[in-house]
Amino acid sequence: MRTLPQTDIYAITDSALSLGRPLADVVGALLEAGVKIIQYREKRKKAGEMLRECDMLRAMTREAGAFFIVNDHIDIAVLVKADGVHVGQDDLPVHRVRELVGDSCVIGLSTHSPAQAAAAVQSGADYIGVGPLYATNTKEDVCEAVGLEYLDYIVKNHSIPFVAIGGIKRHNIAEVARHGARCCCLVSEIVGAEDIAVRVAELRAIMNEASQGKGL
């Protein structure tokens, strides 16, 4: 079935922000903490290393019953039989990615504006990224923060599954949830935490309370 699982936290890897810990340990901790979507996003590695790491993460996520998504690298996603691929506005277009990955692979597309969201729906994307909501240093050449207005727009005008992203932290995730995001993507706040399990539990608890209207 080609749909993004419904879950609260979508974790993205970044070895440069992981306090020097091996990727296997970081992802092991995420899975142990019950994170159900893991995206492999490593911008400074060579193809051979990325393939080896994705083979490993595919095995770990399958064992844990988690969804595995590869950022940018369609070839690696196909080779390791990832559940999904995630592309940006300047990557291969979604309808051509579909030709490569087939019908059972989820395709996610980053969007930053209402026009891009409409185009994403037309393109056959299975879910969209909505952001960056706040300023972030994690992504190079990232566009300006789009703010919560764009999130509000998506909640009001679209039914395509979406994930909120960009600068989401403990101090603002309640606000993101209150604006209607049910799934938040985080990089630095999670992989950079000393205790990943504790951080995931904190984020979950805040989101849960906020989405139940308790307004933390």
C-alpha–C-alpha distance, residues 104 and 196, integer Å: 31
* 111 is an interface residue for ligand TZP by CB under 6 A: no
C-alpha–C-alpha distance, residues 37 and 69, integer Å: 8
The region of 67-75, 146-154, 182-190, 196-204 touching Mg ion under the rule CB under 5 A is 67-75
Q: Which of 59, 10, 54 is nearest to 36 (CA)?
A: 10
Residue 91 interacting entry, from Mg ion, ligand TZP, none, C-beta within 5 to 8 Å by type: Mg ion
Which of 62/114 has CB closer to ligand TZP? Answer: 114
The region of 3-11, 59-67, 100-108, 134-142 touching ligand TZP under the rule CB under 6 A is 134-142
Residue 92 interacting entry, from ligand TZP, Mg ion, none, C-beta within 5 to 8 Å by type: none
CA 170 to chain centre: 17
* Catalytic status, residue 81: no
The single residue among 110, 125, 173, 181 that binds ligand TZP, judged by CB under 6 A, is: 110
Number of residues that bind ligand TZP (CB under 6 A): 15
C-alpha–C-alpha distance, residues 151 and 177, integer Å: 10
* Catalytic status, residue 211: no
Contacts 24+ apart (CB under 8 A), 17-21: 17/138, 17/187, 17/188, 17/191, 17/192, 18/191, 18/192, 19/192, 19/194
* Catalytic status, residue 110: yes
| Cβ contacts of 44 within 8 Å, gap of 6 or more | 15, 16
What are the residues binding ligand TZP (CB under 6 A)?
Answer: 110, 131-132, 136, 138-139, 142, 165-168, 186-189
- For the annotated catalytic residues, the residue numbers are 41, 110, 139
What are the residues binding Mg ion (CB under 5 A)?
Answer: 72, 88, 91
